[in-house]
Amino acid sequence: MIKKIVEDSSSIWTQGTGQYPEVVLSSRIRLARNLAQFPFPLQQTETSSNGVLERVAQAIAKDKSLGFYRLEEIPELQRMVLMEKHLISPEHVQNPENKGLVINKDGSISIMVNEEDHLRIQCFESGLELERLWEKANSLDDQLEESLDYAFDEKYGYLTCCPTNLGTGMRVSVMMHLPALVLTKQAERILSQLSKVGIAVRGIFGEGTETLGNLYQLSNQLTLGQSEKDILLNISEMSKKLVDQELTARNYLLQNAGLKIEDKAKRALGILTNAKIISSREALSLISDLRLGQTLNLIDKIDLRLINELFLLCQPAFLQVLNGSVMDPEERDIKRAEMFKEKLI
């Protein structure tokens, strides 16, 4: 199953379905859970780690839609692709020892085992679909709790390794493409205000908070002191507001600078289909230009789904999987340019 997931150029967040697909790539709920009878991962021994892995494997054994893997079994390049698909974390890629992964066929469920917490239960949906996502995550959580004994405190809620995850243990995040807010120079102001309502904003690729490709990830800062419903409502409302602002800005650009946006999108297409060398950073920026043009109907015959996939296909590990072997950065820049030609011509 892993090999199939790794080789598939689509991902939940590339599907272009769900609500507001022109702005929202995907929504995610992540629940942090720990098993009461085992020490937290930071204090784990090999024996207790294996204990957690075994308990989790048993707990999901009956569910045929889920597969269980020890991360050491998965080659590094494949782990990196799973990270590029946002199915596992960078920490889970770099230190696979005694770590596990539970995943379903389409990658809409992914549980990291022995990451910062014993369980990081993740559910994904394409577009802005927080209600559906919550039902899914909640039911998966209940299903697991039938056979697992979670560490829970009446006062603090779910106990987690880091106090920032205490309480609900829930992190809701929404992945958005906001090129028009960036072009109209509103992004910085609008996004910085979100921290005042408890929402953190990050880039989705690359180091730290870099926002390459005008892609942003919104998520709740606090997990404690609010119910799951409140957290979901806040993220949902703010996401809808942002979608609205982005669509207004796109419409403004179309009315007032339509030809410039068309020029930008078509230049991006011209470069992507002609260049021989394309860096990862440039690629994300070009795909962003192309995507903005596509959603404003300024580009012919390119499916939104394909454009979303390009964000994934141009990533370093994915290119190496496509190539069938490890490549240095220079080789990847060449392979990346070849990939774009193949996909877009």
| Interface contacts to its own copies, rule CB under 8 A | 259-260, 262-263, 266-267, 269-277, 334, 337
Rounded to the nearest whole angstrom, what is the least distance from the CB of residue 263 to its own copies in the complex? 4
Contact 8, 116 (CB under 8 A): no
- Beta strands of 152-285 (E only): which ranges? 152-153, 157-158, 170-177, 199-203, 215-220
Judged by beta carbon, residue 127 or residue 293, the one nearer its own copies is 293
Kind plus residue range of the DSSP H or E element containing 88: none
Q: Which is nearer to its own copies, 189 or 276 (CB)?
A: 276
By C-beta, is 309 or 333 nearer to its own copies? 333
Q: Measured from the CB atom, is 108 or 288 closer to its own copies?
A: 288
User: Shortest gap between Cβ of 328 and its own copies (angstroms)?
Assistant: 14
The beta strand positions in the chain, using DSSP E, are 24-33, 66-70, 100-104, 109-113, 119-126, 152-153, 157-158, 170-177, 199-203, 215-220
Shortest distance in whole angstroms from residue 285 CB to its own copies: 14
Residue 22 CA to residue 60 CA, distance in Å, equals 35
Both tokens of 317, joined, read: 């590990």
**How far, in Å, CA of 59 to CA of 79, rounded?**
23
Partners of 173 in the β-ladder = 28, 219
Q: CA angle 332-213-2, nearest 5°?
A: 55
Nearer to its own copies, 196 or 276 (CB): 276
Cβ atoms within 10 Å, residue 95: 12
Q: How far is the CB of 273 from its own copies (least distance, A)?
A: 6
The DSSP string of 19-56 is SSTTTEEEEEEEEEE-BTTS--GGG--HHHHHHHHHHH
Spatial contact of 155 and 224, defined as CB atoms under 8 Å apart: no
- At closest approach, how far in Å is the CB of 81 from its own copies? 26
CA atoms within 13 A on the CB side of 241: 13
Min CB(17)–its own copies separation in Å: 29
Q: Which is nearer to its own copies, 106 or 338 (CB)?
A: 338
Least CB distance to its own copies at residue 5 (A):
33
Select 53 or 261, whichever has its Cβ closest to its own copies.
Answer: 261
